Amino acid sequence: MTEDNRYKWIIATLFVIVILIVASNIIIYKRLKQDYDTKFDEADQRVDILKSGLTSEIQKEKAFSIKERESLENRTLTNFNDLLTILGKETSRLRTDIQQVKSDTESELEGITEQVDGLEERNSELEDLISDIDVTSSDFSNIVGDVIKAVVSVKTDKGQGSGVIFNNQGYIITNKHVIDGASSVYVVDYNSNNYNVDLVGAASNIDLAVLKIISDNTFDYLNFADSSDIKIGERVIAVGNPLGLSFSVTEGIISAVNRVIDDTGVPYVQTDVPINPGNSGGPLVNSNKKIVGINTVKILDTEGIGFAIPSSIAKDIADQAMG
């Protein structure tokens, strides 16, 4: 084979090879395209299926949402109706309660009105009682000096007490228990003068005694007040010798009158003036320098409760003793 023929054979062989390669690529391309088209169609089908399924799901969800909304609306309407029913019942019950409260309040107001009427009546009675109490605020500083001059200290071998001169001749009234059992009795006046005395009269059941100073002198004295003029609330002073403290003055008021506290039947004058041992027999004096009572009794273990024999009884005993 010549060189030229070999060269042609090679060319022809290469040409066949190229044709085979091209044909092979064309076949491969067609197969790939066919596979691609098949897969693309499958993908489209799957997309269609997905779209169809999604649409179906959307429709289902839409239908479910509509049902749920209707159900919710129905439940809301039912609950609202139930609430209206409950409110109606509660309103009715509340109206009943209000009527009951109104009725009870009216009843209570009627009771309060009756109580107020009763209080007004009692207030009227209290005003009447208060009107009977003559509360007088008095300044005793201007009369104490004169009162003390008529008060004496009664001393015995058994003890001591007080007394008051009720006559310028030296007649003294005191408590009988001050001199009971004594073998010697004398009195001391405000100026510390000592005087012997005689017993001129006594009333054992009333615990009063009348003494007479043995002297030709005249003495300062106090008059007896009219017992009917003694007023509850009236300010008074007690003058005497409590606990040996000569000529002490204490002040208070008349707390009550006509107090019967023992078997004697004496209508005592009650006072809150402090009365202590040694005050017995001393005078209870008003702002007019008059004797309203003779101090005689204090209730033990109490404060502000003392008693005096009223001036009317003391004056009767005094008059009888002087004859």
Q: What is the pLDDT of residues 291-311, one digit of tens each?
A: 999 998 766 666 778 899 999
pTM comes to 0.58
Q: Helix, strand, coil % (nearest 5) of the chain?
A: 50, 25, 25
Beta strands 223-224 and 290-298: pairing type? parallel
- Report the pLDDT value the prediction gives residue 137, as an integer from 0 to 100: 44
| Backbone φ, ψ for residue 267 (5° rounding) | -85, 80
Percent residues over pLDDT 70 in the chain: 80
For the segment 105-129, what is each residue's pLDDT rounded down to a tens digit? 777 777 777 776 666 666 566 555 4
Residue of higher predicted confidence among 138 and 11: 11
Q: Which of 14-18, 50-54, 134-138 has the highest mean pLDDT?
A: 14-18
Which of 177, 189, 227, 311 is flagged as catalytic? 177
Residue 156 has pLDDT above 90, yes or no: yes
Q: Whole-angstrom Cα distance, residue 52 to residue 42?
A: 15
Q: What is the pLDDT of residues 188-212, one digit of tens each?
A: 998 999 999 999 999 978 999 999 9
Q: Judge whether 207 counts as a catalytic residue.
A: yes
Query: Is there a catalytic annotation at residue 248?
Result: no
82 labelled catalytic: no
Q: In which region does residue 258 sit, left (phi positive, over 0), alpha (psi from -120 to 50) or beta (all else)?
A: left
The active-site residue out of 207, 227, 248, 311 is: 207
Confidence of residue 92 (pLDDT cuts 50, 70, 90): confident
Query: 233: Cβ–Cβ under 8 A, 6 or more apart, which residues?
Result: 133, 134, 135, 136, 253, 254
- pLDDT of 1 higher than 90: no
pLDDT exceeds 50 at position 135: no
- φ, ψ of residue 224 in degrees (nearest 5): -85, 140
pLDDT tens digit sequence for 56-86: 766 766 666 677 777 777 777 787 677 777 7
What whole-number distance in Å separates Cα of residue 95 and Cα of residue 75?
Answer: 30
pLDDT at 133 over 50: no
First to last CA, the chain: 210
